[in-house]
Structure 1
């Protein structure tokens, strides 16, 4: 009893509520599913052998990996130069561009998928434009193929590639590149030998994040792809809803999880933030692989040293002739990327005001008929109200539990903190279909399938991770001496937290609650598995209509969902502005 009392007074005890939710909803079910896939207690790999013996299963698995790899590669090819150009501009313009990247990141993925259906459909914007110009006589097959799947997936995942790259590139000291150029290195050589190795942590983080999420993609391939473009998550979801063979479903889910784990172990993630060590490892590994090439390179470098020294002396103070041209090309590239990210959403908003019987761009007349359909149809506004209720409860519960966990983790040892953080973040680093399957079987045991309580618990599994990340980042900059000062004035731990700590971390707490709400509001895959037939959220209603017919009312709903992240950004900005001291506000706004 005394040891339990001591544990209750330890900071690590604050992580118990978060760990209990994860353990009950996901942790124990995953362990039981793994044992089921091995036919416990006899333990055999018959289910895995059966999976690979069926050519269709192996084809879908390979197709899932292939689509995920190609989508990740495209995101990297587009995202890396975009992040590099964003970091290179002025601070004010950089903030504006990052906001433009964040807006589609926070927008519902279902809305963005719907936008591409409107753009690429047989009677979509692109085909109608080509038909009106007389360039084609019949609509082109732009949708229900692999290309459409890549377009939709890259559009959704590109912000997740750009943001980690920007966060790493901002911290790279540009004077290192200038130093390399002052020693005779050309701009491309300085970038390749100095900047790129230092940006590898962002490349790895972005690629792993995009690849793992792509493995669990369900909505976009099903909506934009054909029958030959289905991914393993689609098969798993259909088997959960139609089959009672738990062992088969478990084996499929763990095969998909194994792919993500293997890639994670092969690539690895550098969490140390030591960029110099990364560059040193890269240079050493390349020298170890190519020793003979390095020797030849040094030899020819010594032979060409006089000519290189002469060229360096003549070009050292020479003005760059290609600077204006490179800036123009970079500006055009960033504008095209922003157009690709934002135009589908703008298109949905404009077409939602169409006055015709079908969606058209530009609208022949302006009308609010599709908004009236939304607010006049009980199936729509009741689904919206259910989603808001669930999102509010998830935001409240995740904020309380996640803040306690982040506060407790910030006061534990680094090793324990790293281990527990990894455990709490596991649900948002796994393919979402695996988390959905585990939550389904976990809530079945609790008798909560088809209830709002079950949906709330399933959503909290991921939302708690977002709250922990954001609040932990806020606590990292918190001065603990303020708490010590309060304690020295006889304030108890609870009063110190409520009167000192909580007001100072309030911006992070509000940001965590906003992200938890958005995560719950946009959730489709997990909700489709655990909601049964009695709980219908707005994303589920939209998904059902997309599968049966392209209802123009979805454009009105989509435009409202596009305004939601804008409202959340305004809330976050106001929260941040109010947290800034008045003296700093004057410095930030000299005109005031």
Structure 2
């Protein structure tokens, strides 16, 4: 017992289970897959050379990068002002808007893709509306093209851009902007010179996350795009399913991985550092890169200084007539963005109650027939039950291992903490199709392909990352003096953790478990690769339905998965409220 307590005091021991699972399922298979791409032990670059010798492969690669860059740019253009307007809103409005952004983020990506198929299809909502109004004589080509791909991908990725921006913007001291205004700076100048530089860490984190995730997009381009809109992930998945030669597929996967690693190494994604350090590093990096341009800008502004001083004196006590117009414009902009995020889900919910022979909006009659069809179809209920079992097992396993790992990482030095955190976050910061290929290779070696245990291990690599991030954020606000006080009362380390630490970080643990469950329940790319067609989950059943024929039953499934995030938010809020009430006497 005494030896166990001594080992428990060493942070490395606490992180060992997480890294052991990560190495067995993902780390070692990645190395083996890389050696396979090099034709080990002969070691040659023939697979990479063969990839670039085919013009179609190069075209798909550049197309993947272009789609990812454009999607990231659109998300930043829409997401930055949205996050800024949310942060500057009143407290109650801000909380409500954050919840409205979280709901689509927690909703299944498959459901949101399916919603856009219903909206943009030849017989979808928009074309039917235009046909009924007599504005068009034949359906518009709104789907199976690049525009539809951008609409669907931006809809899915926009919350991922907004949330990091919100996290950084909420930590900015607004008194700095007020001080700039008091010195005579106009609103835009105060924003440009004070607020914007401090928010650049959020821009960097959000853009990197969106770009890297877009590199591995598979379902949305396949469902909404045409033959000329295929991405490299589609090529990789098709190669795995149709070819027994893994070497060319491994080379394609590592080319995609190399792009992600180069981008991450160039800009850096420091999720373990504090906001202040990130802000300082970003300001230093940007100031060094644009030093000459900034000097020229300052020179021109100095020339215009007398004019600006005279204009500020004239306008100092003038009424702010433009403030009301800008407030209205900002409110309209936020409403449009929130409607864009929520409208597809609401369409699915309404259409699921249609009583007609097919999907229609608005429904001519109301009925629960599609919900009854779902409950009466063994293929749907069986897939749903498989997903529930796998997600529960993943949530339990990843919560235990991830919480212990987060506790150990929190006790290490800052430099070691950064390395360990980035290693654990690899499954969710790298393109998902690359993680899927490596996991497929690893489970194939372990003999767990097509088994529930294999799926649980495959999903847990990413779920542990969610748990570690959330629990680390909770531990960052934990007062370690409470543990020291308990230790001074001769409490054993295990007693200190169970009686002091665990109750106070319980909201973070429950939040991590919820996100681990959601991530597993909604996972489709890795599942499609490692299930081996032996075990069908609900996302795989939905993907099969979307790819082959859209039956109305999927609307009922999509409706339930759309309303499910509301339940998650209620659970998280109830947990937070109880923890706040428990901590109030302390």
Does the pair score TM above 0.5?
yes
Q: Residue 517 of structure 1 corresponds to which residue in structure 2? A: 517
Identify which range, 456-465 or 37-46, moves more after superposition. Answer: 37-46
CA contact (8 A) 1:149 1:221 kept: yes
Q: 1:375, CA displacement in angstroms?
A: 0.1
Give how far 1:288 is off.
2.9
User: Alpha-carbon deviations, 1:150-206, whole Å to 9, x = none?
Assistant: 000000000000111111111112222222233332222222222111111000000
Matches of residues 487-502 of structure 1 in structure 2 within 5 Å? Answer: 487-502=487-502
Equivalent position of 1:287 in the other structure: 291
Question: How far apart are residue 241 of structure 1 and its match?
Answer: 1.3
1:388-537 mapped onto 2 (5 Å cutoff): 388-537=388-537
Compute the displacement of 1:281 (Å). 4.7
Counterpart residue number, 2:300: 297
**C-alpha contact 1:172 1:195 (8 A) present in aligned 2:** yes
Distance in 1, matches of 2:14 and 2:433, equals 29
The one of 273, 276, 287 aligned to 2:275: 273
Q: How many residues align?
A: 580
Shift of 1:330: 0.6
2:350 corresponds to? 350
Cα distance in 2, alignment partners of residues 213 and 341 from structure 1: 18
Q: Where does residue 590 of structure 1 map in the other structure?
A: none
Q: How is 1:546-565 mapped onto 2 (pairs within 5 angstroms)?
A: 546-565=546-565
Using the size of structure 2 for normalisation, the TM-score is 0.96
CA deviation after TM superposition for structure 1 residue 7, in Å: 5.5
The 1:454–1:324 alpha-carbon spacing in structure 2 relative to 1, beyond 3 Å, is same
Q: Deviations over 1:25-51 (max 9, x none)?
A: 000000011111112222221111100
For 2:535 and 2:288, locate their aligned partners in 1 and report how far apart those are by CA, in whole Å: 57
Q: Name structure 1 gaps, 5 residues minimum.
A: 586-592
User: In the TM superposition, what is the alpha-carbon distance from 1:563 to its structure 2 partner?
Assistant: 1.8
Of stretches 184-193 and 544-553 in structure 1, the one that deviates more from structure 2 is: 184-193
| Structure 2 residues without counterparts, runs of 5 or longer | none
Alignment of 1:88-167 (within 5 A): 88-167=88-167
Over 3 Å counting, the alpha-carbon distance change for 1:391 and 1:4 in structure 2 is closer
- SS class of match (2:290): helix
Q: Using a 3 Å threshold, how does the CA distance of structure 1 residues 9 and 501 change in structure 2: closer, same or farther? A: closer
Q: Which moved more, 1:182-191 or 1:572-581?
A: 182-191
Aligned to 1:34: 34
Where 1:199 maps in the other structure, the secondary structure is helix
> Aligned-pair distance for 1:482?
2.0
Question: In the alignment, is the contact (CA less than 8 A) between 2:432 and 2:525 conserved in 1?
Answer: yes
Aligned to 1:385: 385
Aligned residue for 1:323?
A: 323
Q: Give the whole-Å Cα distance in 1 for the aligned partners of 2:418 and 2:583.
A: 37
Residue 462 (structure 1) shift: 0.1
The question of whether the paired residues in 2 share the 8 Å contact of 1:467 and 1:515 is answered with: yes
Greater shift after overlay, 347-356 or 260-269? 260-269
Cα contact 1:152–1:220 (8 A) shared by 2: yes
Residue by residue, what CA displacement relative to the aligned partner does 1:526-556 show, whole Å, maximum 9, x if unpaired?
Answer: 0000001211000000100111101110000
In the other structure, the counterpart of 2:189 is 189
- Residue 5 of structure 2 contacts residue 493 of structure 2 at CA under 8 Å; is this kept in 1? no
**Structure-2 change in CA distance of 1:91 and 1:298 (3 Å):** closer
Q: Distance in 2 between matches of 1:295 and 1:505?
A: 48
Root mean square deviation of aligned Cα: 1.8
Distance in structure 1 (CA, Å) of the matches to 2:324 and 2:572: 37
Q: Is contact 2:394–2:520 with CA below 8 Å preserved after alignment?
A: yes
Whether the aligned pair in 2 keeps the contact of 1:201 and 1:269 (CA below 8 Å) is no
C-alpha deviation, 1:488, in angstroms: 2.5
For residue 11 of structure 1, report the CA deviation from its aligned partner: 2.1
| Alignment partner of 1:199 is 2:199 | yes
State the distance in 1 between where 2:208 and 2:186 align: 31
Decide whether aligned partners of structure 1 residues 583 and 517 sit closer, same or farther in structure 2, where only a CA change above 3 A counts.
closer
CA gap of 1:280–1:321, structure 2 versus 1, over 3 A, is farther
Match of 1:588 in 2: none
Query: What is the alpha-carbon distance in structure 1 between the residues aligned to residue 351 and residue 357 of structure 2?
Result: 12
Which digits, 9 at most, give the CA deviation of each residue in 1:311-332, with x for residues without a partner?
2112122221101111111111
1:300 deviates by 1.9
CA distance 1:298–1:558, change in 2 (3 Å): closer
Q: Secondary structure at the match of 1:551?
A: coil
Tell me, in whole angstroms, the C-alpha distance in 1 between the residues paired with 2:567 and 2:274.
35
Moved more, 40-49 or 364-373: 40-49
Structure 1 residues 81, 298: CA separation in 2 closer, same or farther (over 3 Å shift)?
closer
Alignment of 1:578-589 (within 5 A): 578-581=578-581
CA contact 1:182–1:316 (8 Å) conserved in 2:
no
Partners of 2:297 and 2:350 lie apart in 1 by 58
Contact 1:194 1:279 (8 Å CA) reproduced: no
Deviation per CA, 1:392-441, whole angstroms, max 9, x where unpaired?
Answer: 00000000000010111111222221111111111110000000000000
**What does residue 226 of structure 1 align with?**
226
Residue matched to 1:253: 253
TM-score by length of 1: 0.95
1:509–1:177: structure 2 CA closer, same or farther, 3 Å change rule? same
Aligned match of 1:210: 210
- Which range moved further: 280-289 or 362-371? 280-289
Deviation (angstroms), 1:308:
2.6
Q: Give the whole-Å Cα distance in 1 for the aligned partners of 2:357 and 2:486.
A: 66
